[in-house]
Amino acid sequence: MDFDRRRTATLRTKRIQQKVNGIDTNIFEHCVQLYTLPPTSTISLEEFEELAVERLKVLRAVETVGVRCSRGSQDYKTLLEKEIKNSKLKRSILKWRDNVSHFILRLAYCRSEELRRWFIQQEIDLFRFRFQQESAESRARFLEINNLGYKPIDTEEQKEVLVNLQDSEGKEALAIENVQHYKVPFTEALDLVRSRRVYVHHGFAYVPQDDLVSILLTLFRMQLSHSLAVSNLQSFASPGRRWEVITNVVSLSRRYIGQDYASKKPVGEITADMIDLLSKTSFPLCMQQLHSAFRSNHHLRHGGRMQYGLFLKGIGLSLEEAIRFWKSEFTKIMDGDKFDKQYSYSIRHYYGKEGRKADYTPYSCIKIITTNTPGVGDFHGCPFKHSDPDVLRQKLAGQGLKQEGVDQVMQFVKGGHYQVACARVFELIHGSLSGGLIDVEVSFQHPNQYFEESYKRLHKDKINSNTPQAPRAVQIVPPPSKDRQSDTVTNLKSNSQDVTAPAASTASDPHEEDDFDELDETVLLDEAE
């Protein structure tokens, strides 16, 4: 079976090569690619769907494995290799299917910022993994094919700057003396520059040979994020079967990354007066923190207002109530006139009533953890990531957690599993999330998810009894390996069994179906604009 596939794929490669006559007959010269040329051949819809699902599986594997093992470790390699082998995109047939499946998912994942972010991250991890698997020779060839003619600096210059290289890379001079360094315009090595991992002088970054991949990643990320933005703007010509398949794929994608709470209908009638109480019973720690800072300072800085304001929108606070809520506090330090001028505009903005009228999405955990790190005077961010351990311990104790519970949570924090830590706090307060399964850890993807779980539990009697017994909004993962201590985000999504299970099996979940309808609508609206 597998063998058959390979043969048809080879045939197809030939076919596609003939189609692009005149441009470059060798478009898949290297088995790793930057996806600069979209496929031009015709494929059946079944194939289209299958390819999408296969690539999703791989990307999802990239994500799960990345959570369980630290990137670059032996475990990571073995596991990911195994996962890729299990998919139908395995190495031997990679080139063409790789190309086509990548471009199909571009269509599916260009629709919202959250989707794009997820897709880019996984594609980049996959690219890094595959590039690093290649031999030195093959990597050099890759650079050549893609016209990336970086040249190493000569020994004379290397000697001159050796101390600076040592201080920048944080390694002893002896260890880098014989490593080749490439002088690259700093604009092409942004990741390395940003984290101050290389020496930067007169506009050039001095990049050690092993970090060249980081430059490729920057390039790849740039191209990809640009193309996704462009694809998003181009509307699809005619609705029909093709469109259905694409939206189907989009709905798949949502299933894999969770809801974005963008146009969530109100859970109940939440009003400004209820927030004080709700913040104590049902808000995740990050929002509690913002709420109490807001109440005591009568003010929140921009980052805090965005994170908190959009969250409140997500729990179902109407625009009118939101303005009432913010105004009542702000006007303790300023007159109503000033508030109307300076702040009500931005609140209307969150609700898509001003400016470009974009309906802003409440921030997900990943966004809160990875972007816009809080600075002096800021109370936003993820308390699990952005707190000193002592301060966090105190806060946890303030939640009524016992010493033992606090220790458990802190253990996850120490390992960099902030979202697991948050879910554990939830469990210690509200009871288990995993529905009786032992030896699994759960995590939240979204502060609004935390709220909804909590609200549902505390208001069971009031919520419409037609709703089936709480569909599990929380995904379950095996416990993260204890030895891993890294700063990376733990975006835990799935357990490993799910990875190999056919994606369609979750499609009957009524909760997901709703979600799909809602999205479909927004997509069509977009198109109409």
Partner 1 sequence: MTSKVDKYDPGSLSDLLPLYYKKLFPYGLYFRWLNYGGVPKTYFSNREFSFTLKDDVYIRYQSFTDQQDMEKEIQKICPYKIDVGAVFTHRPKDHKTINAAAFVAQEKELVFDIDMTDYDDVRSCCSGADICEKCWPLMSMAVKILNRALKDDFGFEHILWVYSGRRGIHCWVCDEVARKLSQAGRTAIAEYLTVVKGGENQVRKVHLDQYIHPSIKAAIEIINSNFKDYAVDKQDFLGDKQKWTKVLSLIPSQDIQKEVAEELELLPDSASRWKKVKKFIELSSKSGFTDSRQADKEIMLQYCYPRLDVNVSKGINHLLKSPFCVHPKTGRVCVPFDPDDTDRFSPAEVPTISQLLDELNKVEAVDLGGVSKHTKDYKRTSMAASIEVFEQFVKKLEKSWRGKLIEESDKKMEF
Residues that bind partner 1 (CB under 8 A): 164, 166-171, 186-187, 190-191, 193-196, 199-204, 218, 221-222, 233, 289, 293, 302-303, 341-342, 356, 372-381, 383, 386-388, 391-392
Closer residue to partner 1 in complex, CB, 64/289: 289
CB 413 within 8 A of CB 419: no
Nearer to partner 1, 125 or 498 (CB): 125
The minimum distance between CB 528 and partner 1, in angstroms, equals: 14
> Residue 200 is inside which H or E element, if any?
strand 199-201
Apex 216 CA angle, 210 and 222, nearest 5: 150
Annotated binding site for [4Fe-4S] cluster: 286, 365, 382, 422
Binding-site annotation: residue ranges: 286, 365, 382, 422
User: What's the Cα-to-Cα distance from 284 to each of 291, 441, 445, 465, 476, rounded to whole Å?
Assistant: 11, 18, 12, 25, 19
Q: Which is nearer to partner 1, 69 or 300 (CB)?
A: 300
Do the Cβ atoms of 211 and 480 come closer than 8 Å?
no
The CA angle 413-416-419, to the nearest 5 degrees, is 70
Alpha-carbon distance of 283 to 280, in angstroms, equals 6
Q: Which is nearer to partner 1, 28 or 204 (CB)?
A: 204
Q: Which is nearer to partner 1, 41 or 164 (CB)?
A: 164
Q: How far is the CB of 427 from partner 1 (least distance, A)?
A: 23
Minimum CB distance to partner 1, residue 435 (Å): 33
Largest CA distance in the chain: 77
Q: Please state, in angstroms and as integers, the Cα–Cα distance from residue 370 to each residue in 111, 365, 489, 510, following that order.
A: 21, 8, 7, 32
SS3 per-residue string spanning 304-372: HHHHHHHHHHHCCECHHHHHHHHHHHHCCCCCHHHHHHHCHHHHHHHCCCCCCCCCCCCCCHHHHHHCC
Query: Which residue bears the tokens 């308390």?
Result: 383
Closest approach, Cβ 107 to partner 1, in A, equals: 18
The least CB distance from residue 232 to partner 1, in Å, is: 9
Taking Cα atoms as reference points, which of 306, 303, 397 lies closest to residue 347? 306
Least gap, CB of 500 to partner 1 (angstroms): 36
Q: Which is nearer to partner 1, 37 or 161 (CB)?
A: 161
CB of 263 to partner 1, least distance (A): 20
State the Cα–Cα distance between residues 353 and 351, nearest whole angstrom. 6
Closer to partner 1 by CB, 391 or 525: give it: 391
Please say which residue, 359 or 513, places its beta carbon nearer to partner 1: 359
Burial of 417 from C-beta contacts in 10 A (0-12 / 13-18 / 19+): buried
Phi/psi class of residue 324: alpha, beta or left (left: φ > 0; alpha: ψ in -120 to 50)? alpha
Residue 48 or 119: the one with the smaller Cβ distance to partner 1 is 119
Question: How distant, in Å, are the alpha carbons of 20, 282, 391, 425, 440 from that of 403?
Answer: 66, 22, 14, 12, 22
Amino acid at 451: F
Nearest to 220 by CA among 28, 30, 36, 34: 34
Q: What's the Cα-to-Cα distance from 246 to each of 11, 50, 234, 442, rounded to whole Å?
A: 26, 12, 14, 31
> Whole-number minimum distance, CB 103 to partner 1, in Å?
22
Torsions phi, psi for 443 (to 5 deg): -145, 155
Contact 350, 333 (CB under 8 A): no
CB of 250 vs partner 1, minimal distance in Å = 20
Residue 184 vs residues 135, 151, 171, 187, 204: alpha-carbon distances, Å: 22, 8, 20, 8, 5
Q: How far is the CB of 254 from partner 1 (least distance, A)?
A: 24
**Closest CB to partner 1 among residues 82, 201:** 201
Dig out the tokens for 400 from the structure: 């009524």
Q: Give the three-state DSSP class for 241.
A: helix
Q: Closest approach of Cβ 387 to partner 1, in Å? A: 4
Q: How far is the CB of 195 from partner 1 (least distance, A)?
A: 8
Backbone angles phi, psi at 200, to 5 degrees: -120, 125
Q: Which amino acid is at 299?
A: H
Kindly tell me which of 42 and 296 has the beta carbon lying closer to partner 1. Answer: 296
User: Which C-beta is closer to partner 1: that of 206 or that of 256?
Assistant: 206
